[in-house]
Chain A
Amino acid sequence: MTWLSDDAVARVRAAASEPDLTGTRYRLVGPLASGGMASVWIAEDTTLGRTVALKVLDEPDQEARTVARLEHPSIVPVHDAGSLADGRAFVAMKYVEGRRFDDFARDATPAARLRAFQRICEAAAFAHARGIVHRDLKPQNVVVGEFGEVVVLDWGLARPIDARDESRTIAGTPGFMAPEQARGESARVDARADVYALGAILQGLLADSRPAKRIEAVRRRAMAPEPEDRYPDASALAADVARFLDGLPVSAYRESAVERLGAWAARNRAALLLVAAYLAMRAAIALLARV
């Protein structure tokens, strides 16, 4: 039996892992990512002359059909799906060039991070409105493209919200899974599980600063242990994030009269400055007239 050097082991392993694209219109360029139930490869679509991300799965799943229903600028589009000569299934998706969300967030301004986060919420909100829950939202599954576009990838665990799933299977990523999801209570996993994951993403964005009370309250409500105490879906969360970015009161936080006044003043600072300048000018004129 042939002895395999370390280099040969790596090459043989890569050879056995490589998808067999015989009979397809794709040409393999190289590996992109791997883990769990699937590997993702960069391939060239030789018919259309474009680069695609080719997800290769051991078993066919519903991802292609699920994502095909979700046409949204922040949801990765699916181009094609089928089976390979080696028996595995594939899904061809848009190849999004960019940075992973956590990498992007490291050197973005706090406002830019929150605006990008809002895009993620809107993508999830769109899916929720069409009855789909992602179940694996996390920074690693979001790419920020070179033009600032935010794209949610990997819908491999997505499923219809109303699917009758009584299994005890735990699917998701620790740290981002809602408590009911982490306990394997599949029947209780709905849009609010995604809200929890979004809250966990938001928590990461706020970690290196002292967050304002209002956005911290948004995070707390998103990550409430009980689904009933969270935002009902990502749309409600996105709306609160938008209100925060606009300096408006958020539903998750009851402000005192002083805070309300302070927030109103911050929003109308320009007008207040004008009024203050006018009053100061009138006072100066009145003073000069007395002299």
Chain B
Amino acid sequence: MGAPEYRNARSVRSCDNRPRVFPTTHRSVLASLASDAAEERSRAYETLVAAYWKPVYKHVRLRWRRSDEDAKDLTQGFFAAALEKEFLAGYDAEKARFRTFLRVCLDRFVADDAAAARRRKRGGDVPRTQLDFDAAEAELARAAPPADPIEEHFDREWLRSVLALAVERLRLDCEARRRPKRFELFRRSYLDDAAQRPTYAALASEHGIAVTDVTNELSAARRELRRAVLAVLREITASDREFRAEARLVLGSDLP
């Protein structure tokens, strides 16, 4: 490592094509939901649902103690209403984080049960996304009952959802770049239960590669994972300020 190059750090990075710390190419879903282009709107809707449907479903089950069938309907109905009524457009980044705003909207939606039922009946013309509610139910059954306040539980589920999305993107990225071994090494090192987690030496021997290859692949996977986390956060936040705050929260010390 040479002498400090602080003054030129930015330009050096842009010249050698190193990744930017905060990606700027991913447009916020909130902006995209208001787009005139149907395809962009639809993509934004999918991203929003992918990031939030599990926290929403579990919140309805736990906070409102609704049956699984009711919770399924309310989850679908909530996202459909969000798209149809454009109530997410009322979000003010100065007042709250987007996920907090979304939870407040959800509580209002569920509380107004009669209205929710009407919306569900009218919901035939809005997209009903295929969601794996059975998996969400299995997760609820597997997890211990939440000890923290239910609002914090929503935030924890949000974090889980964001990280799961990022891991999924890492998997798809590794597949697209024909590097399945990279994701496999990552999965064994970070996703497996502690008891089954192998050492680097065991992984190296399992895959017939050197230990340094394992550490290099994992370094690359962590780098790509970080990029994926930031990309997801960029998409599901409304402003640069909110994005930075969420990024600090997810990748910093203050776990939600």
Contact = CB atoms under 8 A, between A and B. Distances in A.
A13 B4 contact: no
Contacts of A85: 18, 223
Nearest to B1: A25
A88 B21 contact: yes
B130 interface: no
Given A4-B160, A65-B4, A87-B13, A16 B191 contact: no
A5 B190 CA distance: 11
A141 interface: no
Contacts of A2: 164, 167-168, 171, 191
A16 B225 contact: yes
A59 interface: yes
B248 A37 contact: yes
Contacts of A34: 252-253
A5 B195 CA distance: 13
A203 interface: no
Contacts of A83: 5, 9, 12-13, 18
Interface string A121-155: 00000000000000000000000000000000000
B238 interface: no
B246 to A, nearest CB: 13
A126 B163 CA distance: 46
A3 B163 contact: no
B26 interface: no
A82 B21 CA distance: 14
A1 B223 contact: no
Interface string B189-215: 011011000000000000000000000
A271 to B, nearest CB: 56
A15 B252 contact: no
A16 B229 contact: yes
B164 A4 contact: yes
Contact of A9 (B12, B160, B165, B251): B160
B52 to A, nearest CB: 13
19 contacts: A1-B50, A2-B191, A4-B167, A6-B143, A13-B255, A15-B190, A16-B163, A20-B219, A20-B223, A22-B216, A37-B248, A58-B244, A58-B248, A64-B6, A80-B1, A83-B5, A85-B18, A87-B21, A89-B9
Given A2-B191, A81-B4, A87-B18, 14 more contacts: A1-B164, A3-B164, A4-B160, A15-B190, A15-B221, A20-B223, A22-B216, A22-B219, A34-B253, A59-B21, A60-B10, A83-B5, A83-B13, A87-B21
